[in-house]
Amino acid sequence: MTQFRNPVLPGSHPDPSVCRAGPDYYLVTSTFEYFPGLPIYHSRDLVHWRPAGHVLDRPSQLPLQGVSASGGLYAPTIRHHDGVFYVVCTLVGGTRESGNFVVTATDPEGPWSEPHWLPEAPGFDPSLFFDDDGRAWWTATREVRDGRTEVYLREFDVRSLSLVGEEHVLFRGAMHDAVWAEAPHLYKVDGRYVLLCAEGGTDFEHSVVVAFADEVTGPYRGSKLNPVLTHRHLGRSYPVAATGHADLVCTQHGQWYAVLLATRPYGGYYYNLGRETFLVPVSWENGGPVFSPGTGRLESSYPVPDLLVHPWSEPLQTDDFDAPELDAAWMFLRTPEEEFWSLTERPGHLRLRVRPESITELVTPSVVVRRQQHQNFHASCVLEFEPAGPTEAAGMVLLQNNDNHFRLLLGAGREVTLVRRAGGREEVLGKTQVAEGTVRLGFEAVGQDHQALVASGSGEWQLLGESFDGRVLSTPVAGGFTGVHIGLYATGDGAPSDTWADFDSFTYRALGEAPR
């Protein structure tokens, strides 16, 4: 029997939510401080997913200026009802708007509406549920004190896109003194209301719990089988950890699956890829969900769903920047207020303007990034750049956040420098001179063993400095909620400039890993 491999969306794809519209499945994940926000993925078999745009792809929709690292967009939910798609989400730490909002579209590939902000909706991790009688309900989580939370419910008016009626508190967690009962999703299965939540925080103690009620407003009673999925009892050396934040979907053939997040630690309890999206089969016994029947663990592979297998074209390993727009894999740090990139000023190249903003600040620097998606990888670029001032530099970054990253940059005097920034403190790991003309820069990693590569023109790759440890890029060291992003970057480091950096190509490929 054909198997699929987990994760189905590798790299930083946390907090997945899924819905079905006929034979088509659509999935969204959190994006925090990155723009455009909330990628939409499309599938017909729940295993193969193609990028289908972003929910928030216009600056007017997403005011991320000034948000902190791992601030921004948290835990979206996507639902489809009566020909309309809804996404609800929370913007955390916004310096303009903040809080919960809803956007709608008749085509999930867009355009999506401007956000409708919901000041009457406190908390975070919102979700929508459409009942059989046509009424819609909003659930979300709010903190009461010290990580203790409660899940509440109010009716949602689809015409005014607002909350109406009385509030009902549904759930405060399954465990005694539970923390972070969150990510609530409501379903109706065989006439009974099912409330699925995450619990225990989003790291090692993460779990999935469930409660049931005969009426949508409650009372809800926790299952005797809680938690219905967790890996915290398997130890930190187990290859998959932090399982939780699940959302259920029923196929057109009546089979149930869950998408959920988990991590894949390596080199110890370190997970540079962040929280990834996994798929797990679900059955129902005595009215309750059974995750991964037979094992109770999130497995690395399962039989493919009983759906027509529908793979999409594999993404190209090399982006030659020949397209009129940036590929969907690329993102910016926060919302750009000016266009500092061009694919047309020099066709076949990505041109980045050298601007004063630095990647060490909570700003929008001249950087485009994409997710690291493999533990073993090669990433490299071909760069043409002539610095006009002593602080100007351009090249590549391995980015966890503003205080934890590696920079491999060509600067004044044709000097390439490798810098490690850890906890806000910087150390130069290597320097070398390169000849005039094109330079190639690259990073490679095998597990947590990383190295920086440099080449002049078409010459052979040379190792810059010694191999270095990548654990500083992992969430357990750097904090936050995101995985590593690999970027192309140009900066004047505080000084204005009229210079630009031209990137002829970017290559990303896995090294020595089995296909999914």
Active site residues: 15, 182
CA neighbor of 381 nearest in space, from 471, 472, 452, 466: 452
Q: Is 286 left (phi over 0), alpha (psi -120 to 50) or beta?
A: left
Q: Which helix (H) or strand (E) segment is 478 a member of?
A: helix 475-478
Side-chain-side CA neighbours of residue 132 (13 Å):
9
Inter-CA distances, 177 with 100, 160, 276, 502, Å: 27, 38, 28, 55
Q: How far apart are CA 356 and CA 350, in angstroms?
A: 19
Q: How far apart are CA 271 and CA 294, in angstroms?
A: 27
Inter-CA distances, 314 with 48, 332, 444, 513, 515, Å: 10, 23, 21, 16, 12
Contact 245, 15 (CB under 8 A): yes
Token duo for residue 487: 């970027």
Cα–chain center distance at 35: 11
The residue type at 296: G
Contact 88, 75 (CB under 8 A): no
The residue type at 161: L
CA neighbor of 117 nearest in space, from 88, 143, 141: 88
Buried b (16+ CB within 10 A) or exposed e, 89-105: bbbbbbeeebbbbbbeb
Token duo for residue 324: 């009129």
3-state secondary structure at position 61? helix
